[in-house]
Amino acid sequence: MDRIQKQKEIVELKSAFASAKSAVVLEFKGLSVEKDTVLRRVLRENKTQYRVSKNTMLRLAVKDTGFEALSVYFKGATAVATSEGDMVGLAKAIYGFLKENPTITFKGAILDGEPTSAKDFQAIAELPPRDVVIGKLLYLMQYPISGLVIALDQIRKKKEESGS
């Protein structure tokens, strides 16, 4: 790779980090081409960019960005997934792949601007889908009201029975 190609790569990486809300650093040592292709497809479905690049270029790309803290993880065989959208979707996609493919490992992440440990990353990935959370929240908000309606209906029935 000549100097011009390296500069172009750094510009592309800087652009990806500048527009991203979240980034995950992975070590892909021992990952087959077929499994790497599967990972890329899964991440693409989640509107995530996935890049394998030289560590020096990654360090230069994150310099003076919100992702500079990730530079400590740029050692060995490094891949970076960046996302402009939903951090939970990104975490679920990567964590699901990590569970099925132990050859790839989690190094570190910054999700919505916050450094994230492996334990926190796993917790975020295991969150139920957004629709399920909203459904549970609506049920919890509705439950006290339905209890009140049932109690008032019981009082009405007793008054009707005693009045007859």
Tokens of 114: 């916050």
Residue 58: pLDDT over 70: yes
What's the pLDDT band for 133 if we cut at 50, 70, 90?
confident
Residue 5: pLDDT over 70: yes
pLDDT, residue 59, reads 94
How far is residue 91 from each of residues 23, 101, 143, 160, measured CA to CA in Å? Answer: 10, 15, 32, 57
What's the pLDDT band for 164 if we cut at 50, 70, 90?
low
Q: Maximum CA pair distance of the chain?
A: 96
What's the average model confidence in pLDDT over 111-132? 88
pLDDT, residue 153, reads 86
Which CATH class name applies to 3-127? alpha beta
What's the average model confidence in pLDDT over 38-49? 90
What's the average model confidence in pLDDT over 95-101? 91
pLDDT, residue 156, reads 87
Residue 90: pLDDT over 80: yes
